[in-house]
Amino acid sequence: MNKTADYRFTIIVPVYNEEDNIYTLEERLRAYLPATTAGGQPACALFVNDGSKDRSGERLREICGRNPHFYWLDLARNSGLSAAMKAGIDATYSEYVGYMDADLQTAPEDFDLLLPHMGEYEMVMGIRTGRKDSFVKNMSSRIANGFRRMMTHDGVEDTGCPLKVLRTDYAKRIPFFTGMHRFLPALIQLQGARVKQVPVRHFPRVAGQSKYHLWNRLAGPFMDCFAYRWMRKRYIDYRTGETNL
């Protein structure tokens, strides 16, 4: 039996070369998980180590060894954020699955702003307020978000916010591809899913280095928009009826 099936909510945390943030992640999630469990959402954390080349993997094993609701999963090689998210979703069997970045620019406590809406929506996501990023990062994100909305009509203001909660059965049916993490709302909407946006806090990065640069904030997402448009016309969405299997 997959251990995440014992919980109602699994938080996926993709990790790539974040050794300086691991112990802070441990402290924040160790404080948060009992609170959300007491609130009726028994929760665990699943760290997906995306082929880190520093001591992230070693430290993840260390913190998972001393925290009963922490789990880890290694990718055999560095495969990117979308692959790490897919691996985490594939390994999750709780009712809900969430996602947050390892850089702690969003707070795990803000999942409590999203979870109350899960009875009415299949996906609830954050909108970063008072963003603490550089001018270049903020401007490139604004341009990319505007172009994505024009191409996908997903109605989402800030798809780059890493704080998201999805129904796991819907998440497992999302068609995954490299760069798909930017299109989660549009992709889940292909299933007729309802998406809600909720303002959440945003904080400056205090350790480690951002893995993003101008290319993967602008050029890459622009090309992925055309891939999404092609895929949307060919997407297969079905539900099975009765069977004697």
| Domain extents in the chain | 3-232
Contact 15, 60 (CB under 8 A): yes
Below-50 pLDDT ranges, the chain: 135-136, 212-214
Residue 208 carries which side chain, given as an amino acid letter? G
Q: Is 3-232 in CATH node 3.30.390.10?
A: no
Residue 135 carries which side chain, given as an amino acid letter? F
Q: Quote the pTM value.
A: 0.82
Secondary structure of 192-212 as H, E, C letters: CCCEEEEEEECCCCCCCCCCC
What's the CA gap between 42 and 36, in Å, rounded? 7
45 forms bridges with which residues in the sheet? 11, 70
Burial 193-218 (b: 16+ CB within 10 A, else e): bebebbebbbeeeeebeeeeeeebbb
Position 245 scores a pLDDT of 73
3-state DSSP call for residue 140?
helix
| Residue 96 φ/ψ, nearest 5 degrees | -120, 150
Position 197 scores a pLDDT of 93
What's the CA gap between 156 and 189, in Å, rounded? 11
Position 198 scores a pLDDT of 95
Position 241 scores a pLDDT of 79
Biggest alpha carbon distance in the chain?
A: 59
Position 146 scores a pLDDT of 59
Residue 130 carries which side chain, given as an amino acid letter? G
Position 220 scores a pLDDT of 62
Contact 186, 228 (CB under 8 A): yes
